C-alpha cells in the first residue's frame, strides 16, 4: 500500500508540472495593458514579445524580437492570403516560438487600424497551434506613454524546432463563404467603415459587400487608439450581434480589419465558432460571377 501511495503522489506531481508548463503567466489575458505586461515580463523569462510594426531599430520593448508584419501576409495582389505553410513554419521557428510559448504581439500604436497587425498575427499563430497569445492594448505607444523603458538593441533568440499544423476551425475559405450565403445560422460581419459596406468606396475589383452581411465597423471597439475595456465591448456585441447564432464570420478587404472584429468577438466576447475570411472582399470580388450586395 505504501508503494502504491508513493506512486500516486509521483503521478500527481508529474501531472501538476505537466499542467503548469503550459499554464498562462499570472495576470495574462488576450488583451493586455502596459502595466500588467511589465509585471509579467519582470517575472517570466519565457515570454516572447514580437515587434510587428513601427521602427524596431529606433525603439522596442526590451527583449522584443523584430517580426515584421509583412512576413505574416500574402502577395501584393492580395495581402490577405496566407503565406505558404513552409514559410510560416520557418518564421515561427526563427522567432523561437513553440506551441506553449507565451507570445505578446506589439504594434506601433499609431491608431486602431494599426492594431489589426497584432490581431491578424494573433489569429495566424492561434491557427498554427500557439496556445498562449496576447495583444498589447495601444501598442508600443501605450507602453511609452506609461513611462516604461524601451531599447534600440537588437534581440536574437534561439530557433525552435516547432512543427505547427494549421487548424482551420478559425478560418473561412471562399468556397465555404459561397456555401454560407444560404445558411441562416451564420452571421456575416463586415468590419470595414460604412462607406465600404455601402459600396461608396472600394479598393477591390468591385465595390460592395457580401450578400447578407451586416456592418459592424471595427472603429466602434476603440476609444482613441486603444481598444475599449472588455465590459464595454461585451455590451457593444450584445447590441449588435446574435450570440445564439451557430457561427460568425468576419471579413474586410484583406483580413486585416476583419481580424480586429474576430479578436473582439471570439477572444474577448467568447462567441463560439467565430471565423475570419482572410482573403476577404479582395478575393471575392475578383470573380464577377460571385454575388455582391450594395454593388453600384
Question: Average pLDDT, whole number, for the chain?
Answer: 92
How far is the C-alpha of 279 from the C-alpha of 81, rounded, in Å? 5
Query: Is residue 8 one of the residues assigned to a domain?
Result: no
Query: Is residue 17 one of the residues assigned to a domain?
Result: no
For residues 227 and 30, the answer to whether their CB atoms sit within 8 Å is no
Question: Do 32 and 127 belong to one domain?
Answer: yes
Q: Is the pLDDT of residue 2 over 50?
A: no
Percent of the chain with pLDDT over 70: 93
pLDDT score of 156:
96
DSSP-derived pairing of the beta strands 247-251 and 186-190? parallel
CA distances to 1, 4, 17, 100, 126 from 13, rounded to whole Å, are: 18, 14, 6, 19, 29
Question: Whole-angstrom distance between the N-terminal and C-terminal Cα of the chain?
Answer: 80
Q: Which domain holds residue 251?
A: 168-284
Boundary residue ending a domain (81, 112, 145): 145
Q: Is the pLDDT of residue 15 over 60?
A: no
Boundary residue ending a domain (103, 130, 145): 145
Of 2-6, 65-69, 147-151, 284-288, the one with minimum mean pLDDT is: 2-6
pLDDT score of 103:
98
CA distances to 95, 120, 145, 155, 220 from 117, rounded to whole Å, are: 17, 5, 20, 21, 18
192-212: pLDDT as tens digits: 999 999 999 999 999 999 999
Query: Is residue 3 one of the residues assigned to a domain?
Result: no
Query: Is residue 200 one of the residues assigned to a domain?
Result: yes
Residue 296 burial by Cβ neighbours in a 10 Å radius (0-12, 13-18, 19+): exposed
pLDDT score of 72:
98
The domain total for the chain is: 2
Boundary residue ending a domain (145, 179, 201): 145
Please give the average per-residue pLDDT across 128-142, as a whole number. Answer: 98
Query: Is residue 107 one of the residues assigned to a domain?
Result: yes
Helix (H, G, I), strand (E, B) or coil at 222: strand
Neighbours of 205 (CB within 10 A): 13
Q: Is the pLDDT of residue 125 over 80?
A: yes
Amino acid at each position: 500500500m505504501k508503494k502504491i501511495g508513493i506512486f500516486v503522489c509521483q503521478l500527481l506531481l508529474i501531472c501538476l508540472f505537466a499542467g503548469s508548463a503550459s499554464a498562462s503567466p499570472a495576470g495574462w489575458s488576450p488583451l493586455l495593458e502596459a502595466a500588467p505586461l511589465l509585471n509579467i515580463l519582470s517575472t517570466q523569462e519565457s515570454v516572447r514579445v514580437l515587434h510587428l510594426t513601427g521602427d524596431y531599430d529606433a525603439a522596442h520593448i526590451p527583449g522584443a524580437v523584430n517580426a515584421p508584419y509583412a512576413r505574416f501576409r500574402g502577395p501584393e495582389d492580395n495581402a490577405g492570403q496566407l503565406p505558404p505553410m513552409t514559410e510560416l513554419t520557418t518564421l515561427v521557428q526563427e522567432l523561437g516560438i513553440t506551441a506553449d510559448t507565451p507570445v505578446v504581439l506589439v504594434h506601433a500604436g499609431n491608431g486602431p487600424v494599426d492594431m489589426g497587425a497584432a490581431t491578424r498575427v494573433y489569429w495566424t499563430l492561434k491557427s498554427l497551434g500557439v496556445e498562449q497569445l496576447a495583444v498589447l492594448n495601444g501598442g508600443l505607444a501605450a507602453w511609452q506613454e506609461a513611462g516604461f523603458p524601451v531599447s534600440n538593441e537588437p534581440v536574437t533568440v534561439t530557433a525552435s524546432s516547432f512543427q505547427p499544423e494549421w487548424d482551420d476551425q478559425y478560418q473561412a475559405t471562399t468556397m465555404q463563404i459561397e456555401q454560407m450565403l444560404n445558411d441562416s445560422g451564420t452571421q456575416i460581419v463586415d468590419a470595414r467603415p460604412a462607406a465600404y459596406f455601402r459600396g461608396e468606396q472600394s479598393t477591390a475589383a468591385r465595390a460592395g459587400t457580401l450578400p447578407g452581411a451586416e456592418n459592424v465597423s471595427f472603429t466602434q471597439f476603440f476609444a482613441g487608439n486603444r481598444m475599449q475595456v472588455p465590459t464595454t465591448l461585451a455590451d457593444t456585441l450584445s447590441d449588435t450581434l446574435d450570440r445564439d447564432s451557430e457561427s460568425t464570420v468576419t471579413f474586410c478587404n484583406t483580413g486585416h480589419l476583419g481580424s480586429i472584429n474576430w479578436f473582439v468577438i471570439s477572444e474577448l466576447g467568447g462567441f463560439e465558432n467565430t471565423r475570419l475570411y482572410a482573403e476577404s472582399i479582395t478575393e471575392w470580388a475578383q470573380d464577377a460571377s460571385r454575388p455582391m450586395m450594395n454593388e453600384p
